[in-house]
């Protein structure tokens, strides 16, 4: 588990979702920016001001941890760290450790629809290295905040920085391919690595320090504007991560660190062979024996940054689909139960509350629903899913319970415009289904003259759901070109970016008017 000599006392956790309100879903990388990808700088602060003008209570993000394969924030080398892609170069200049002249002519003007993550990371790594070189030359008395950050975050930061320093020295290697003593974390090997890679360890520590400083500044702005932040915790972590390397005892691994079983989804209507995700699975008995300390430390770190958290794949806290690591598909798997009730009871005790949204999409059993309701966690409803069943579905607003978070769509859906205007499938059955869905949409929304994205926004805001979250792409009526992610694909995802000035005063005013109409503004 993340190492700490004395467990912290349970904090007083603010409980959101107790007032009828709404918010916007937008990952910071999707903000307009001049260095390849959105960040925590001026555009983020301007977005906070937009939310305030629009009467929004929440800014929901995707995971802010470093991105992994395909630049996915759901496949991270560290679930505790902040992604260097979110670094604001302009804010780094304000620290006095860096000058834009150090970069040369690298700005893109922020006027492209797609983020350039490769270029972004190249520029920001260079900026951090220059700043770090100057920082280490600063007088010792100017480093007190840095030392305090190291001490406060050491339970995860030491392993994270050392892991990345070793990865720098052996690029392209999974930790399971390192020297066995390093792979197995022999104390002498770890101490030698800390000496050999001391500068790289300090660089990665400094990077997290600077990112934490910029995050704190953004969070302070949110507090002053009355905007709450909603984070996102993926249920699984990447195998090639500091988390798994440092905490092998809580993952299902062989003696050499290889995966024994992996996560996936069984065959269903959408896939005859299921989905093989490949993430290592947890040893829940070992976690329970430790009072779930690794998981609770992860949630505690997230709640230090966010006011509330979306729990990805909530179904996996009740049971998961286990597939042998050698399997070619997810067909040859089995369901394994999880002690979810004991986990959430301990989390509530340790964290002082459970400010979570349960992402309960998929095949939801009675046991999953009972677990969510046992701890009064709001579930999720997606309006794009409401019209598939001609007999109606639980995603139709008139069937909602109040303790719900409703979305027009999520990062895994097409935009509302893209979804509604998509051409029909080529087969007869597909065309019939496509036509029936759109007919049900028209009948349910009869009399509303707005374009489809504002129809669904109005439907979300007018519903009984306590919380409504609207993706920024839907506020602008953007099509499929603005989709954030297409599950099952690896190319072209996560890179959507707003253009400068798109979120206008008019958009803010229209959204605020609807929130006033449907009593989603605090009085």
List, as one string, the DSSP characters of 191-240.
HHHHHHTHHHHHHHHHHHHHHHHHHHHHHHHHHHHT-EEEEEE-SS--SS
Taking a C-beta distance cutoff of 8 angstroms, is the pair 175, 240 a contact? yes
Q: Specify whether 312 is catalytic.
A: yes
Q: What is the spatial distance between Cα 121 and Cα 67, in angstroms, rounded to a whole number?
A: 11
Q: Strands 58-60 and 21-25, how do they pair? A: parallel
3-state secondary structure of 324: strand
Q: Specify whether 412 is catalytic.
A: yes
User: Would the CA dihedral through 502, 504, 506, 511 be positive or negative?
Assistant: positive
Tokens 């959430």 sit on residue: 344
Tokens 């329970």 sit on residue: 288
Q: Specify whether 359 is catalytic.
A: yes
Taking a C-beta distance cutoff of 8 angstroms, is the pair 77, 164 a contact? yes
CA angle 40, 492, 414 (to 5 degrees): 85
Contacts of 319 (CB under 8 A, 6+ apart): 335, 336, 337, 338, 365, 367
Strands (E), 27-78: 58-60
Of 49, 184, 341, 412, the catalytic one is 412
Quote the distance between the C-alpha of residue 472 and its chain's center: 16
* Cα dihedral value 437, 439, 445, 449, nearest 10: 120
Q: What is the spatial distance between Cα 33 and Cα 114, in angstroms, rounded to a whole number?
A: 11
Q: What is the spatial distance between Cα 441 and Cα 280, in angstroms, rounded to a whole number?
A: 40
3-state secondary structure of 81: coil
Of 359, 360, 414, 474, the catalytic one is 359
187: enclosing H helix or E strand: helix 187-196
Of 240, 312, 414, 474, the catalytic one is 312
List, as one string, the DSSP characters of 422-465.
PPPPSSHHHHHHHHHHHHHHHHHTTT--S-HHHHHHHHHHHSS-
Tokens of 167: 């990865």
Taking a C-beta distance cutoff of 8 angstroms, is the pair 301, 156 a contact? yes
CA dist list (Å): 213 to 46, 86, 106: 18, 12, 24
User: Annotated catalytic sites, by residue?
Assistant: 312, 359, 412
């Amino acid at each position: 588990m993340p190492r700490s000599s004395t467990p912290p006392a349970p904090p007083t956790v603010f409980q959101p979702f107790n007032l009828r309100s709404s918010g916007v879903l937008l990952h910071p990388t999707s903000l307009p920016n001049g260095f390849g990808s959105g960040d925590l700088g001026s555009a983020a602060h301007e977005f906070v001001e937009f939310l305030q003008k629009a009467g929004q209570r929440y800014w929901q993000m995707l995971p802010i941890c470093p991105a992994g394969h395909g630049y996915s924030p759901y496949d991270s080398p560290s679930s505790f760290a902040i992604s260097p892609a979110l670094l604001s170069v302009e804010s780094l200049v304000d620290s006095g450790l860096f000058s834009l002249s150090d970069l040369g002519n690298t700005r893109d003007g922020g006027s492209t629809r797609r983020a350039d993550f490769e270029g972004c990371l190249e520029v920001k790594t260079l900026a951090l290295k220059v700043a770090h070189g100057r920082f280490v030359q600063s007088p010792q008395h100017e480093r007190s905040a840095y030392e305090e950050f190291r001490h406060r975050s050491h339970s995860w930061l030491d392993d994270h920085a050392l892991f990345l320093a070793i990865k720098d020295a052996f690029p392209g290697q999974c930790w399971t391919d390192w020297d066995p003593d390093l792979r197995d974390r022999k104390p002498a090997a770890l101490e030698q690595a800390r000496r050999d890679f001391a500068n790289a360890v300090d660089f990665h520590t400094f990077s997290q320090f600077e990112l934490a400083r910029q995050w704190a500044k953004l969070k302070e702005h949110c507090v002053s504007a009355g905007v709450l932040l909603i984070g996102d915790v993926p249920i699984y972590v990447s195998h090639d991560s500091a988390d798994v390397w440092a905490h092998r005892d809580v993952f299902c691994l062989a003696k050499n660190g290889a995966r024994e079983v992996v996560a996936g989804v069984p065959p269903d209507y959408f896939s005859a062979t299921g989905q093989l995700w490949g993430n290592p699975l947890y040893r829940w008995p070992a976690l329970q024996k430790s009072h779930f300390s690794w998981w609770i430390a992860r949630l505690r770190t997230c709640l230090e940054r966010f006011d509330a958290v979306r729990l990805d794949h909530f179904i996996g806290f009740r049971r998961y689909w286990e597939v042998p690591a050698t399997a070619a598909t997810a067909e040859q798997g089995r369901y394994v139960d999880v002690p979810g009730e004991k986990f959430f009871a301990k989390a509530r005790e340790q964290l002082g509350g459970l400010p979570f949204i349960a992402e309960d999409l998929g095949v939801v059993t009675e046991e999953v629903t009972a677990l969510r309701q046992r701890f009064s966690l709001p579930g999720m409803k997606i309006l794009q899913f409401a019209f598939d069943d001609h007999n109606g579905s639980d995603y139709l607003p008139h069937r909602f319970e109040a303790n719900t978070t409703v979305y027009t769509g999520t990062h895994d859906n097409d935009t509302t415009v893209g979804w509604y205007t998509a051409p029909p499938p080529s087969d007869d059955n597909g065309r019939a289904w496509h036509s029936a869905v759109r007919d049900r949409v028209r009948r349910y929304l009869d009399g509303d003259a707005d374009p489809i994205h504002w129809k669904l926004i109005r439907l979300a805001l007018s519903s009984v759901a306590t919380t409504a979250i609207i993706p920024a792409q839907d506020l602008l009526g953007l099509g499929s070109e603005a989709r954030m992610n297409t599950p099952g694909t690896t190319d072209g995802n996560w890179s959507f970016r707003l253009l400068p000035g798109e979120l206008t005063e008019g958009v803010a005013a229209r959204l605020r008017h609807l929130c006033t109409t449907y009593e989603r503004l605090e009085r």
